[in-house]
Every structure is written in C-alpha cells, then in structure tokens.
Amino acid sequence: MINITLKDGSVKAFESGVTPLAIAESLSAGLARNVLAAELDGKVCDLLTPIDHDAKLALLTFDDEGGKKTFWHTASHVLAQAVKRLYPAVKLTIGPAIDNGFYYDFDTETPFTPEDLEKLEKEMKKIVDAKLPVRRFELPRDEAIALMKEKDEPYKVTLIEELPPEEHISFYEQGEFTDLCAGPHLPDTGKIKAFKLIQSTGAYWRGDAKNKMLQRVYGIAFPKAKELDEYLARLEEAKRRDHRKLGRELDLFDIYEEGPGFPFFLPKGMVLRNLLEDFWREEHRKHGYQEIRTPMILSEELWHRSGHWDHYKENMYFTKIDDADFAIKPMNCPGGMLVYKRRLHSYRDLPQRMAELGLVHRHELSGALHGLMRVRCFTQDDAHIFMTPEQIEQEIVGVIDLIDGFYKVFGFKYHVELSTRPEDSMGSDEQWEIATNALRRAMEDKGMDFVVNEGDGAFYGPKIDFHLEDSIGRTWQCGTIQLDFQMPERFDLTYVGADGEKHRPVMIHRVVFGSIERFIAILTEHFAGAYPLWLAPVQVKVIPLTDRQLEASQKIAGDLAAAGLRVEVDERSEKMGFKIREAQLQKIPYMLVIGDKELEKGVVSVRSRSDGDLGTMTADAFLAKTAEEIRTKAL
C-alpha cells in the first residue's frame, strides 16, 4: 500500500500502481469526469501514470493551469493528426500549448487557407467523436530515430538526436497517429468538446530567420461549447479594439513599410504620449525620484562589463565610430550605473532614485512584430534605485505603492508574480536567496497575493511582475521590480558607510508603464480608443448648426482653449447628424452644439460621448464640469 496526500491535506491509502484517474474515480464520479491531468509531487503528469510510492497529488481540471495546458496540448495533437490524414506529405515539427490555446508548426509547400482550416476542423471533430485512447510509450534512442525515419518525419529525428543521451524518449499514440512528445496528455480525445482553429501564419523553424518558413496553425479549445462561444465573442471584441486599427482611424500612430518595427507618432498621438509622460514625471517627483537621460549609443565594452553582451547580444544593434565598436542601447541600466559612479556617495545620500524615459532599440524578428505591442524601438520608463541592504524592503514597498497608484488611475486590476533564478544567471546562491526573500517579504508585508514563477527571473536578479487586466479580461505584463546584487559588483559601485568604510550598494531596476509605446497600445484597447477626458487628444468638438453660428462657435472654442481644453470646431457644411456621428467615431468626449436658440440664450447644447444629450448649460458651467473631471482623472 502507498499513502497519497491530496490537495486538501487528507491522506488516503491505495494499492501501489494506482493511477490519478482511478483515485479521482474513487473520490467522486463528477470529479473523474472533469479531471484532466494530475500534479504528482509538484510535476504535472498524465492521469494514467502509475504511482508506486508515497506521494503528494493534486487532481487538475480546466480551471487549473496544468489541466488547461494538458487539454490544449492534446488538442494540438488532434490538429496534427487531422493534418496528416488530409495532407500526408506535410512534415510535423512542434505543437505546444501556449497562454491562449495551442499551435502546431507544419512544413508544407502550400500555406493553409481559411478553407483548409474548415476542412481540418471537420476532421478534428471525427477524431474527437471517436474518443481515441491516448497512450504513452518510451523507446531507446536508436529505435526512436528509426520510428521517425520510417514515418518520414525529419524534424522529429533532429529533435531526438539533440536530446541528452540519458533522456527518456517518449511518444504519444492516438489511433494511427504517433508523435514525439514529453506530454502530459488527456486519457482520450473525447474530452475536447469545443474547438476552433483561429488562423494560420508563417513561422520560422526555431524562430530563426535563417531557417525554413513553416506554417503555424493556431487554435483554441474548451470542455464546453458555451466557453468557446464566449471566447470567440471576446476575440471579436478584441479585433474591434485592435490598437493598430484604432491608431490609424483616430490618427494617433502608425508603422510604415519604410520602418518596420519603428513607430511613427502623429500629432494627436503625441498629445496622448506627452500627457502620459507628464503624469509619469509628476508622480515620480512626488515619490522622490530625480530624472536623468543617458546616451543612446555607448561603447561595446560597457555591455561586456554589464553582462548584457553574454546574455543579450543577439538582440542588439551595433555601429562603428572612429573605428571603435559601439552598441545602440537595448536597455538603460549601464548608463544608470555610470551616472551613479560619477562621484563618491555616503550612506546618508541613499537611497538614490534615478528615473529615465530612455529610448532603447532591440532586434526583433519580423514575424514577432505587432503594432506598438512588439516594436524595435521603444521608450522604457526605467528607474534605478541605489540603496543600503537595510533599505531594500522599504524601497520595494515604495515602488509597489507607486505602481499601484499608477494603475488605479487607469482603472486596471492586476495580479503579481514572483519570478525566481533562471538557469542562465549571474551571482551566488546566497545573493539570490537574499534578493528573492526580500521581494517575498515586501509583498507579504503589503498583504499581497502572488504566485511564484520558478526560473523566470532576469539574469542578474529575481523580480516581481505586475500583470494588468484590461476591460475585456485579457492580461498584460507591464510593471516589474527587479532586485540586483550583480550590476553594483560589475561596475564596482560603492558608498561610504557609517563606519567610514566602503560598501557595495544594492539596486532595484523597475518600470511602471513597461514601455510608453506598449502601454499606449494597452490603453487604446482597454478604452477602445475612448480615452478618459484628461487623456483625450481632442476633448471637445464645437459644432455650429449652420454657418450663422460659425463665428460664435470659433469664439467659444477659443475661450475653452484659453482655459486649457483641447478643442476643435467642425466648420464643414454638413448635416448636424453627420457631424455628431463623426465626432462619436473619433471618440471625442464632448460635443457642443450651437444653433440660433443657444446663441440667443447664451448657452451651449452639451452632448456626451458616453451619456448622450446632457441638455444646455453656460460655457462657464461646462468649463467647471470638465475641469473637475480632468482634475480627478475621472474614468
């Protein structure tokens, strides 16, 4: 007999060799129907995995991350099986679960069309309806290679040949289909009740532009049709809110063929951008930050010294100046180090909080570019805080408070993750433990709920990531707080302590927006382009009923502009209804309609973008109303 400790802490005895599925069935028939995978001693596994030792077991449903990823991973195999049935000559590569569904990459001479995706969905339904059992098996390396050669799957052969000699080489089989895979998977294909293939795009093998272009098919799947319908509705809403589309329609920003990945900000977009930057500066001054600016091009030697060369050079751009090698900065940190090092510091000078809106450049593959979300140049709202070890927790708490205040202004909810040491990292185990524990304690002191993201820290230190939730439920990673013992060491940063001796400061890297460009994209989609009054590039549109009111409309617009509002007058000889619809399409918060009656009474008819007709009021009353809305940054 073996003892199994369940998620609720209870311990139950079972025969050795029992499977998680059998345990689920013994507990509840309803649970057994919904369980998709298991977490055995902290590792996600198949439901049919035999358990032969005392263990901790959590049964996972679609509500659990491990269950969801298992579900989507199996759906990717169903897709691949359908492709091989309909297009036998296509070669398989990889097909993982991702954050929102799954994809599979195929080597095919002919790209998949929307009609092809419809055919594939029909074939997938046959596979699901057949409820094919999913079986895992292992083979020695030579037999594994022979099997994939027999099936004429060269990419799989390559993957096997690159595995370490001691690696267990596992396969999953469902019906006639067999795939190289580490798993885990569902017990059978029948649980995938509702699915949809979203799109097919090009993707380079292993993300390298030097390799062959493959066809990547994206899909989504759910246990219930209702969940799929809700997801597809959200997808349509996301298309309506796409910042690339709205950026062009509202004349805010665009990206042209002449500069792929390099965004252009247009006059109205610059209004929005400058308002965000002004808000950023105002809040940072309140929290004791000084603003700096560091050069965009710096010596290549600096990037060797900082460690970025070893960890980041593939993402960097380079140039030569006077026969010397220079790099265009992909991040602001090394410049911040030089600013700190410019003079001797006392412990009384610390903490030093230095903030920078720094333009950085990073090489991104063309296939990864996406509007303002993924670009090749962007402005990071960096700050570097230099402190004594005793000040670490209070400074982390201070940054948390700053970030929390920022996000509340825009109406964002968020959750946080603590990311720990990655494999590719610098520094000692002791330093990493001190840094990680400091971040953990700061969040616990604030009473924050957080999840641990093992191995996803920066190469120089652990971090706290803030994930914003937008108005349609999507999440975006924006703010981050990274604790760093390595950079001060590499740059030999010091301060003189109370004992008169030199000591090494600790530093925090942190961003709030993440990047101005990406945050604008998120805001645009969050508000569907209908920014709150304080951020709207045009706040008021004055609409004369006829040419008789044009002069009076221009005067009112001038008075409003003198009071600080951003105002336009619609001088076109168009019908009133057309002008109002145009202003609505441009997402302008307020429209002031002026006709003969309004002129006679000395009032304006006010129409709100969100609330419709608000009736008439004097210009002074309207100014008071908008001034309060702007002052409070009302949403």
Active-site residue among 191, 329, 509, 510?
A: 509
Rounded (5°) CA angle 217-128-239: 40
Active-site residue among 45, 181, 333, 478?
A: 333
Q: Is 380 a catalytic residue?
A: yes
For residue range 138-188, list pLDDT tens digits in order. 999 999 999 999 999 999 999 999 988 878 899 999 999 999 999 899 999
For residue range 375-407, list pLDDT tens digits in order. 999 999 999 999 999 999 999 999 999 999 999
- Does the annotation flag 73 for ligand binding? no
Q: Is 474 a catalytic residue?
A: no
Q: Is 586 a catalytic residue?
A: no
- For residue 330, which amino acid is it? P
Active-site residue among 68, 185, 308, 362?
A: 362
Q: What is 80-234's CATH number?
A: 3.30.980.10
Active-site residue among 381, 382, 465, 570?
A: 382
Q: Is 345 a catalytic residue?
A: no
Homologous superfamily of 540-631 in CATH? Anticodon-binding domain (3.40.50.800)
Active-site residue among 77, 156, 191, 384?
A: 384
- Which residues, including other chains, have CB under 8 Å from residue 615's CB and lie 6 or more apart? 605, 606
CATH C-level class of 253-294+329-526: alpha beta
Q: Give the residue among 581, 560, 564, 563 at the shortest CA–CA distance from 572.
A: 581
Q: Do residues 591 and 560 touch, judged by C-beta distance below 8 A?
A: no
DSSP 537-581: SS-EEEEESSGGGHHHHHHHHHHHHHTT--EEE--S---HHHHHH
The CA R_g of the chain, rounded to the nearest whole Å, is 29
Which residue positions in the chain have pLDDT lower than 50? none
Q: Domain locations in the chain? A: 2-61, 80-234, 253-294+329-526, 540-631
For residue range 65-117, list pLDDT tens digits in order. 999 999 999 999 999 999 999 999 999 999 999 988 999 999 998 999 999 99
> pTM, whole model, 2 decimals?
0.82
- Does the annotation flag 181 for ligand binding? no
CATH 3.10.20.30 given to domain 2-61: yes
- Does the annotation flag 304 for ligand binding? no
Q: What are phi and psi of 63, to 5 degrees?
A: -75, -15
Strands 317-321 and 253-254: unpaired
Q: Is 484 a catalytic residue?
A: no
Helix (H, G, I), strand (E, B) or coil at 218: strand
Q: Do residues 464 and 439 touch, judged by C-beta distance below 8 A?
A: yes
Q: Is 343 a catalytic residue?
A: no
Q: Give the residue among 477, 626, 515, 627 at the shortest CA–CA distance from 277.
A: 515
Q: Is 333 a catalytic residue?
A: yes
Active-site residue among 174, 215, 380, 482?
A: 380
